[in-house]
Structure 1
Amino acid sequence: MNKTRRLFSLHSWFGLLSGVFLLLLGLSGSFLVFRDEIDHLANHTLLTVQPPSMDGHSGNAPCCPGTRHTPGTRSLAQFYRIITDRYPNLDGIAWLNPNARPEEAYDFRLYLNDVHLFTYDLGLISFNPYTGAILREGKSSDFTPSLIEWIYQFHFSFQLGTPGAALTAIFGLTMLVSLLTGLVVYRKSIWKVLFFRARLNRKNWRTLSSDLHRIVGVWALLLNSVIFFTGFWMNLFAFKPASWHNEITPTKPNTLTGLSLDTLYRKALAQMPDLQPSSVYLPTQPERMFRVSGPVNGQLALFGGSNSVSLDGQTGAVKQVSRLSQKGTWAKIEATFFPLHVGNYGGLPVKILYVLIGLTPGLLSITGFLLWWRRMSKPVRKVTRTAILAKSV
């Protein structure tokens, strides 16, 4: 068996072994590209709030000066107190949308722990920022009134906790191997496809599936390689023994911050005035830091929320001020991994492209299976002794 045939065999088996899972990852990933938009569309009435009039009707103090919020929002400390009272044993809380518009609800990610290895305990709670009313809450595995959270957790862990996150990382690698071996196997077709010289042969399902597999594979090769590699990289935490240990270790009771979260927030923004907050981590355990993350003014969206300010939640001491511009080359490359994986860096055209590319692993899995089935179903030709002798003459 020559090198190309061995690579073709490797390409086929990697595709077959992971085909169904890649189909599910691709479909869920395409759905999640417009995750925020779908969530707001499906829950528009629920998540749209009415800002109070500006005549002093509301007696609440503005939350966190420096953000885009209108006066009358509840303080960050009030939301923190409500959450920690309802959930006394949290690994942490993340404010997901400090850049929310005045008419949008506040969303807080909850890091829960039910001490079961095969559940990855994420939750979400949304508030009316002006009244403090809870609009929705629950674990991602059974979240209502929307399936968005369930699909999100399924996409990176198959709803199987940390082992599931490791499994998705492994399938990311198998897809990468399948793509790279396919690059070698179909190398003679690459330029034909890229210059639109390859045509679909609709003679029968065999020729059609073969041409589709080759053409779609070539066009989706680069972006699929990026998406599956970055997905693998972001799930590397699941291979650390500490991640498995933490999942089965009961979380200690909450230790609340010693200073007001609003004070910590203002101090963090003062350390980096050009920071545009996109996420705020609220510690509930004494070893964790209060952290504000996001881009800075003028930064490309491709680098995401790669700047941050971390403070000691008890004393307010500044622990770290991290600017992307001061980091090394690898750190700058790594900062692009999340935006490259989710496609949130180029507006609507890029998102549409990611949706289409997300469908290709499923299509490649189906056409690849059909090609394999065609080869397996071919009758084995019997070679007679006479034919062998005739061939040797």
Structure 2
Amino acid sequence: MKSKTIRRWSFIHTWSSLVCTLFLLMLAVTGLPLVFHHEIESLLGDAPQYRQLPADTPRLDLEQLVKAAEAYRPGEVVQYFGWDDDNPEGLFAITAASADADPNTSHTFGLDSRTGEVVEMPSANGGFMMVMLRLHVDMYAGLPGKLLLAFMGLLFVLAIVSGVVLYAPFMKRLRFATVRRERSTRVRWLDLHNLIGIVTLTWALVVGVTGVINACADLLIDAWRNDTLTAMVAPYRDAPPLVRRAPASQVLAIAENAAPGMEADFIAFPGTRFSSEHHYAVFMKGATHLTSHLLTPVLIDASTLAVTAVGERPWYMDALGLSQPLHYGDYGGRPMQILWAVIDLLTIIVLGSGLYLWWVRRKVNA
């Protein structure tokens, strides 16, 4: 490779890395506990704990659970119900002052589906894990924070690609995994930086790309609402405002009949960003580990309980659904969590060593 081309790629690698490094260090540090969020929540006592009851204890219907949730949070309405994968008897309830309230103003808690008893979830309402999640997702800056992190993710991918381009001629002079221990500290760290960077290359690309997709989630959801959801509720465009919501008791059974072979992941109540003023939206998921992250909305008229549409998933929502668990290592159980954590730590070393190498070189050239 010609020296001029090498200098150009070196410039790209240096500055794309430097601009995003501090943000990536923050993301790597906050992402580490998020990989083990279930375990940390249990350790901190933040995971919902439900009473032990006989296995044949009947469950309350959804409308009874709605009343239990609204009685617990007077003056608020239920926005969403979601099922707890770790506790079959439990579900998550999200309430807020109004159906269309900002998600950051809502309150999340657990509900025992057999008794209607409430189980508080500190981790979902400002606990340690929520702090880590907000820092990782938007730095408490909302959409601007997400878009900034998406841009940093793109710079990270550019830094990886340019690093690979530079690594090829570098390795022509040395055997793979060579660390020149007899040389200066700077050279040893350069060799370690290159070695760890190339070993973690695939993981870094996967996490970088999925991170960019996740950071654009609000934009993708808005595109889905403006495109797919708008088309699904088009017949109701000129309908008068909803006067009375039909009880939610049979909503789940109706959705399961409309999407056979699937099960409910969450229900969006009328007026929320995932439904419309006139509909319950039941998001159904597949039965396999992969398809459980791909959601199909079933819209049910909130007055008559008639199924009005079963939506198709646009490709970008599938990409979002698959990228979220992959980003946090949720696909392969404990072994994948450990692998994600180890490589996350190695990435912190790569980022730190990159800063060190730039600083040393800057002092030498000064």
Letter in 2 for 1:223: W
1:186 shift after superposition = 1.2
Q: What per-residue deviation string (whole Å, max 9, x for no partner) do you get for residues 220-260 of structure 1? A: 112211212122123225569x79xxxxxxxxxx9797232
Q: Which residue number corresponds to residue 25 of structure 2?
A: 23
1:108 aligns with 2:93: yes
Secondary structure of the residue aligned to 2:290 is helix
Question: What CA distance in whole angstroms lies between the structure 2 residues aligned with 1:348 and 1:112?
Answer: 38
1:50 shift after superposition = 1.9
1:224 aligns with 2:209: no
Is residue 214–residue 320 contact of structure 2 (8 Å, CA) maintained in 1? no
Change (3 A) 1:256 1:133: farther
Is residue 69–residue 78 contact of structure 2 (8 Å, CA) maintained in 1? no
Structure 1 residue corresponding to 2:7, chosen from 2, 5, 8: 5
Question: What CA distance in whole angstroms lies between the structure 1 residues aligned with 2:198 and 2:279?
Answer: 45
Structure 1: unaligned runs, 5 residues or longer: 55-69, 244-253, 381-393
Change (3 A) 1:255 1:213: farther
Q: What per-residue deviation string (whole Å, max 9, x for no partner) do you get for residues 301-344 of structure 1? A: 234421424223513232433577xx77x776555322322222
Letter in 2 for 1:75: D
Is residue 344–residue 351 contact of structure 1 (8 Å, CA) maintained in 2? yes
Max Rg structure: 1
1:266 shift after superposition = 0.8
1:356-375 to 2 correspondences below 5 Å? 356-375=342-361
Question: What CA distance in whole angstroms lies between the structure 2 residues aligned with 1:205 and 1:122?
Answer: 52
1:51-66 to 2 correspondences below 5 Å? 51-53=52-54
Q: What per-residue deviation string (whole Å, max 9, x for no partner) do you get for residues 149-173 of structure 1? A: 2212221111112211112211111
1:94 shift after superposition = 4.2
Is residue 91–residue 111 contact of structure 2 (8 Å, CA) maintained in 1? yes
Is residue 266–residue 283 contact of structure 2 (8 Å, CA) maintained in 1? yes
Change (3 A) 1:124 1:218: same
Change (3 A) 1:265 1:120: same
Change (3 A) 1:284 1:71: farther
Q: Which residue number corresponds to residue 292 of structure 1?
A: 282
Secondary structure of the residue aligned to 2:176 is coil
Q: Which residue number corresponds to residue 310 of structure 2?
A: 321
Normalised by the length of structure 2, the TM-score is 0.78
Secondary structure of the residue aligned to 1:10 is helix
Q: What per-residue deviation string (whole Å, max 9, x for no partner) do you get for residues 59-82 of structure 1? A: xxxxxxxxxxx5333332233234
Question: What CA distance in whole angstroms lies between the structure 2 residues aligned with 1:264 and 1:43?
Answer: 33
1:264 shift after superposition = 0.7
| Deviating more after overlay: 146-155 vs 315-324 | 315-324
Letter in 1 for 2:269: L
Change (3 A) 1:257 1:82: farther
Letter in 1 for 2:200: A
Is residue 28–residue 344 contact of structure 2 (8 Å, CA) maintained in 1? yes
1:127 aligns with 2:111: yes
Change (3 A) 1:350 1:210: same
Question: What CA distance in whole angstroms lies between the structure 1 residues aligned with 2:213 and 2:160?
Answer: 17
Change (3 A) 1:158 1:336: same
Secondary structure of the residue aligned to 1:50 is coil
Is residue 80–residue 269 contact of structure 2 (8 Å, CA) maintained in 1? yes
| Deviating more after overlay: 335-344 vs 284-293 | 284-293
Q: Which residue number corresponds to residue 256 of structure 2?
A: 269
Q: What per-residue deviation string (whole Å, max 9, x for no partner) do you get for residues 32-89 of structure 1? A: 1221232133227x622223336xxxxxxxxxxxxxxx53333322332344462756
Q: Give the root-mean-square deviation of aligned CA atoms.
A: 3.7
Q: Which residue number corresponds to residue 181 of structure 1?
A: 162
1:374 shift after superposition = 1.5
Structure 1 residue corresponding to 2:67, chosen from 68, 77, 81: 81
Q: Which residue number corresponds to residue 149 of structure 2?
A: 168
Secondary structure of the residue aligned to 1:187 is helix
Question: What CA distance in whole angstroms lies between the structure 1 residues aligned with 2:32 and 2:244?
Answer: 39
Q: Aligned residue pairs: how many?
A: 340
Secondary structure of the residue aligned to 2:135 is helix
1:197 aligns with 2:176: yes
Letter in 2 for 1:107: F
Normalised by the length of structure 1, the TM-score is 0.73
1:306 aligns with 2:306: no
Question: What CA distance in whole angstroms lies between the structure 2 residues aligned with 1:100 and 1:16?
Answer: 41
Question: What CA distance in whole angstroms lies between the structure 2 residues aligned with 1:270 and 1:190?
Answer: 60
Question: What CA distance in whole angstroms lies between the structure 2 residues aligned with 1:3 and 1:313?
Answer: 62
